[in-house]
């Protein structure tokens, strides 16, 4: 296969393709650690293969689990003591910062940020700071109420528009733009529509557009020869396809490319839940019950296999474990014997819950590598389409874990020629 020339604008000496290859090989090498879902698979093969590693995580306290979940570098260092190849994590996931630390001036002042959650305001400001200066009309893809569009507007001499399919959000966004005198117009538009006519010569931007939506933006931008495209992807798993289809020729053509299911893709964005304490407690309790019922149903059916149970009516969470089991058994057409020892199975669920938490921790080490593997595929695609690509973070992980930004400028466009990057 002939490869296009390596891009000139990414960090260090390593090309995106080399970085993608290294990540791909590493993820393939360790697939046993991240592919099985701990909730449905109590005995993943890696526990037998690396018993010392399994014991090490089994002995972690809840506090350690939380601390390590928030600090993937420390997690890699710890797990890397038993499995040294895991220490490559840091080097494999390093990307440049596309921000200088002070997004201040680019952030919409609070008095103008009506209806804009605080984090969204800061994320939009950081995004704007990372892609300024702006040289073209701007199109905000899946813009919601146009928070990003309104943030970019003061920095853009041309027109700023947005596509969003929710009529209510478009109306709200246009009302806000009118109220604050922003030169922003949002249009009600399904971006997946085949008949969508892409405006010409616009700079496409998207903050947290989900799976197929950002992939459609890339394809439409490349096809329409847009001069620039800047987006931070999210929810990679929101796709019509059962298996991830690499977008770039190089990732798609590699014989050892990872084959990822939608469920695997979900891991890239799986975060520790930041819901209020009371909600978290309820969710955990139901998870324990589900795991308890799982043990019970395996025993009753004499089949050591997970049985998916549909989502439960909210009121059920206020009852007890036995009530949950009766409901779940009915749903699955199982008969519960009168002598069922609910206390035993409830304790089983608690034990499994602790185990799942620790196996999930190991799996969580692979979230960022998977995400970067995907985003590098996007960077490769855009290179193949004649763009110079920057890939890095636009803000701290604390502001949003979805902090990767792709900024692609069509080779030979004014922005590139003027050396503004």
Ligand X SMILES: C[S@@+](CC[C@H](N)C(=O)[O-])C[C@H]1O[C@@H](n2cnc3c(N)ncnc32)[C@H](O)[C@@H]1O
Q: Is 263 near ligand X (CB under 6 A)?
A: no
Q: Is 288 near ligand X (CB under 6 A)?
A: no
User: What three-state secondary structure class fits 236?
Assistant: coil
Closest to ligand X by CB, 239 vs 354, is: 239
CA atoms in the 13 A half-sphere facing the CB of 54: 15
Q: Least distance (Å) from ligand X to the CB of residue 14?
A: 31
Residue 163, H or E segment: strand 160-164
Q: Least distance (Å) from ligand X to the CB of residue 25?
A: 32
Sheet containing 160-164, strands listed edge to edge, beginning at the edge strand earlier in sequence: 184-188, 160-164, 137-141, 202-210, 228-234, 404-410, 387-393
The residue from 42, 44, 72, 144 that contacts ligand X (CB under 6 A) is 144
Q: CA 84 to CA 120: how far, in whole Å?
A: 39
- Which window, 136-144, 176-184, 334-342, 364-372, contacts ligand X (CB under 6 A)? 136-144
| 340-361: b (≥16 Cβ within 10 Å) or e | bebeebbebbeebbebbbbbbb
Q: CA 155 to CA 394: how far, in whole Å?
A: 17
The residue from 68, 95, 152, 207 that contacts ligand X (CB under 6 A) is 207
Closest to ligand X by CB, 120 vs 228, is: 120
**Residues making up the chain, counted from first to last:** 421
Among residues 148, 275, 125, 137, which one has the least CA distance to residue 198? 137
Q: CA 248 to CA 383: how far, in whole Å?
A: 9
Token pair 């595929």: residue: 377
Could you tell me if 98 and 405 are in contact, meaning their C-beta atoms sit under 8 angstroms apart? Answer: yes
Among residues 291, 320, 318, 321, which one has the least CA distance to residue 307? 291
Closest to ligand X by CB, 103 vs 213, is: 213
**Residues 168-197 close enough to bind ligand X by CB under 6 A:** 169, 190-192
Could you tell me if 373 and 190 are in contact, meaning their C-beta atoms sit under 8 angstroms apart? Answer: no
Q: CA 7 to CA 388: how far, in whole Å?
A: 6
User: Which H, E and C letters describe 278-299, residue by residue?
Assistant: HHHHHHHHHHHHHHHHHHHHHH
Q: Least distance (Å) from ligand X to the CB of residue 147?
A: 5
- Which window, 27-35, 157-165, 254-262, 287-295, contacts ligand X (CB under 6 A)? 157-165
Q: Least distance (Å) from ligand X to the CB of residue 141?
A: 8
For residue 417, the tally of other CB atoms under 10 A from its CB is: 10
Q: Is 208 near ligand X (CB under 6 A)?
A: yes
The residue from 33, 113, 176, 213 that contacts ligand X (CB under 6 A) is 213
State the number of binding residues for ligand X (CB under 6 A): 19
Q: Is 229 near ligand X (CB under 6 A)?
A: no
Please give the C-alpha separations between residue 366 and each of 126, 210, 248, 326, in angstroms, as whole numbers: 26, 20, 22, 37
Closest to ligand X by CB, 164 vs 383, is: 164
Closest to ligand X by CB, 20 vs 163, is: 163
The residue from 166, 285, 287, 340 that contacts ligand X (CB under 6 A) is 166
Closest to ligand X by CB, 113 vs 409, is: 113
Could you tell me if 350 and 288 are in contact, meaning their C-beta atoms sit under 8 angstroms apart? Answer: yes
Q: Is 131 near ligand X (CB under 6 A)?
A: no
Closest to ligand X by CB, 54 vs 169, is: 169
Closest to ligand X by CB, 114 vs 166, is: 166
- Which window, 18-26, 103-111, 165-173, 401-409, contacts ligand X (CB under 6 A)? 165-173
Q: Least distance (Å) from ligand X to the CB of residue 125?
A: 12
Q: Is 136 near ligand X (CB under 6 A)?
A: no
Q: Least distance (Å) from ligand X to the CB of residue 169?
A: 6
Q: Least distance (Å) from ligand X to the CB of residue 71?
A: 27
Q: Is 165 near ligand X (CB under 6 A)?
A: yes
Residues that bind ligand X (CB under 6 A): 120, 142-144, 147-148, 163-166, 169, 190-192, 207-210, 213
């Amino acid at each position: 296969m002939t490869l296009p020339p390596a891009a000139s604008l990414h960090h260090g000496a390593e090309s995106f393709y080399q970085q993608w290859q290294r990540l791909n090989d590493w993820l393939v090498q360790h697939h046993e650690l991240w592919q099985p879902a701990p909730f449905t698979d109590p005995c993943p093969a890696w526990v037998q293969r690396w018993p010392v590693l399994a014991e090490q995580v089994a002995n972690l306290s809840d506090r350690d689990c939380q601390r390590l979940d928030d600090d993937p570098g420390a997690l890699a260092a710890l797990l890397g003591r038993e499995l040294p190849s895991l220490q490559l994590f840091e080097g494999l996931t390093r990307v440049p910062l596309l921000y200088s630390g002070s997004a201040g001036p680019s952030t919409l002042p609070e008095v103008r940020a009506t209806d804009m959650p605080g984090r969204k305001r800061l994320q939009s400001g950081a995004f704007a700071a990372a892609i300024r200066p702006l040289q073209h009309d701007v199109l905000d893809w899946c813009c919601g109420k146009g928070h990003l569009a309104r943030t970019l507007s003061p920095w853009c001499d041309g027109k700023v528009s947005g596509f969003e399919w929710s009529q209510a959000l478009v109306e709200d966004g246009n009302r806000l733009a009118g109220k604050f005198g922003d030169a922003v117009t949002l249009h009600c538009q399904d971006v997946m529509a085949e008949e969508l006519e892409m405006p010409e010569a616009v700079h496409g931007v998207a903050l947290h557009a989900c799976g197929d939506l950002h992939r459609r933006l890339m394809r439409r931008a490349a096809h329409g020869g847009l001069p620039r495209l800047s987006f931070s992807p999210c929810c990679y798993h929101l796709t019509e396809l059962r298996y991830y289809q690499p977008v770039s020729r190089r990732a798609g053509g590699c014989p050892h490319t990872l084959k990822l299911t939608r469920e695997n893709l979900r891991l890239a964005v799986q975060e520790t839940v930041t819901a209020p304490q009371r909600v978290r407690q309820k969710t955990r309790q139901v998870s324990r019950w589900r795991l308890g019922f799982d043990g019970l149903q395996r025993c009753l059916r004499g089949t050591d296999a997970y049985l998916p149970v549909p989502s439960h009516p909210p009121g059920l969470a206020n009852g007890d474990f036995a009530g949950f089991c009766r409901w779940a058994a009915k749903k699955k057409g199982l008969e519960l014997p009168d002598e069922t020892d609910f206390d035993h199975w409830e304790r089983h669920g608690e034990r499994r819950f602790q185990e799942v938490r620790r196996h999930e921790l190991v799996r969580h080490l692979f979230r960022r590598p998977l995400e970067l593997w995907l985003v590098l595929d996007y960077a490769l695609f855009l290179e193949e389409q004649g763009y110079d690509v920057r890939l890095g973070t636009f803000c701290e992980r604390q502001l949003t874990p979805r902090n990767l930004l792709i900024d692609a400028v069509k080779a030979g466009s004014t922005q590139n020629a003027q050396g503004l990057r």
